[in-house]
């Protein structure tokens, strides 16, 4: 074979090999996209910024976080605009599953809610062991209370406590702002108001607030009604076949793995944990997978 003919064969091969080295295949370069609809508390606290990079690196993925209240996060998934949800309102989660929108729910972690307010505490709720009594005093004194008012898990818990207290909150003393937890805390701080907050977001914002925790949840031996469990649910692939179910299940496996659970346990502000891992147990609670209202099995 003549040298020119050899060059005509070899040069194109070298070009192809060089292209493969410099520009790998799309599957190697382009990460998969996972859309996570979640609460503002997981985002505002900084937890997702800690957890997601390791998942993205392990699975060549990019996690798109849509941080909303629980109600809006579940509606996003119901509209087919998310692959997986991480939320904290069990009745709403159960309704989501029962309606056929979600599958394979797992417990992930918990913290609690706290009642925060100004240091002068005009409603005199400091140290009460009952959230119901604290809300009753706030209403009786018409002390300013700021509600998220966004159908979030926090807002849903707040409404449960008002119901327990026998109070229909309304009037100039009760302000519903329709904001995330961080923004609600900032506004409560500026206005010297009471509010209900998850502990994680309060601790993440504590240094910029004059508000104080006045009524504790069960983590510090306070009212059990203020427990705040989080669950993760994959969007049902039978209803939304175009969503990335495989990657959603990988994310569920990642969040409930020993490594991620250790990261959750060690995520702290100062010496205070923001969340407590809840996925691993020698005696697992199998009712976590089904709606709480389902019959015993």
CATH homologous superfamily of 26-111+229-289 equals Periplasmic binding protein-like II (3.40.190.10)
Q: Do domains 26-111+229-289 and 112-226 have the same CATH topology?
A: yes
**Which CATH number applies to 112-226: 3.30.420.40, 3.30.1330.50, 2.40.128.720, 3.40.190.10?**
3.40.190.10
Under-70 pLDDT residues of the chain: 1-28, 295-297
Where do the structural domains in the chain lie, given as residue ranges? 26-111+229-289, 112-226
3-class DSSP string for 19-54:
HHHHCCCHHHHCCEEEEEEEEHHHHHCCHHHHHHHH
pLDDT digits 0-9 by tens, 131-165: 999 999 999 999 999 999 998 889 999 999 999 99
Judge if pTM exceeds 0.85.
no
What is the pLDDT, as a whole number, of residue 13?
45
pLDDT digits 0-9 by tens, 233-267: 999 999 999 999 999 999 999 999 999 999 999 99
What is the pLDDT, as a whole number, of residue 229?
94
């Amino acid at each position: 074979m003549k040298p020119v003919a050899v060059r005509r064969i070899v040069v194109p091969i070298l070009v192809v090999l060089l292209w493969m080295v410099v520009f790998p295949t799309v599957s190697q370069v382009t990460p998969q996209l996972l859309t996570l609809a979640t609460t503002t508390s997981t985002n505002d606290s900084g937890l997702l910024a800690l957890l997601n990079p390791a998942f993205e690196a392990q699975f060549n993925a990019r996690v798109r976080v849509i941080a909303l209240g629980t109600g809006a996060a579940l509606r996003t998934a119901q509209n087919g605009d998310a692959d997986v949800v991480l939320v904290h309102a069990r009745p709403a989660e159960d309704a989501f599953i029962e309606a056929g929108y979600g599958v394979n729910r797992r417990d992930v972690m918990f913290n609690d809610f706290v009642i925060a307010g100004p240091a002068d505490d005009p409603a005199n709720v400091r140290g009460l062991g009952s959230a119901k009594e604290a809300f009753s005093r706030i209403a009786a004194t018409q002390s300013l209370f700021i509600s998220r008012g966004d159908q979030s898990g926090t807002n849903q818990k707040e409404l449960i406590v008002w119901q327990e207290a026998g109070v229909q909150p309304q009037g100039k003393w009760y302000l519903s702002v329709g904001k995330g937890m961080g923004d609600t805390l900032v506004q409560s701080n500026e206005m010297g108001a009471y509010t209900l907050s998850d502990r994680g977001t309060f601790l993440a914002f504590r240094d910029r607030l004059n508000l104080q925790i006045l009524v504790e949840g069960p983590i510090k031996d306070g009212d059990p009604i203020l427990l705040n469990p989080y669950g993760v649910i994959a969007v049902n692939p039978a209803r939304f076949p175009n969503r990335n179910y495989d990657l959603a299940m990988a994310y569920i496996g990642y969040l409930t793995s020993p490594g991620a659970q250790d990261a959750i346990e060690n995520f702290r502000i100062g010496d205070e944990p923001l969340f407590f891992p809840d996925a691993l147990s020698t005696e697992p609670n199998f009712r976590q997978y089904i709606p709480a209202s389902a019959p015993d099995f």
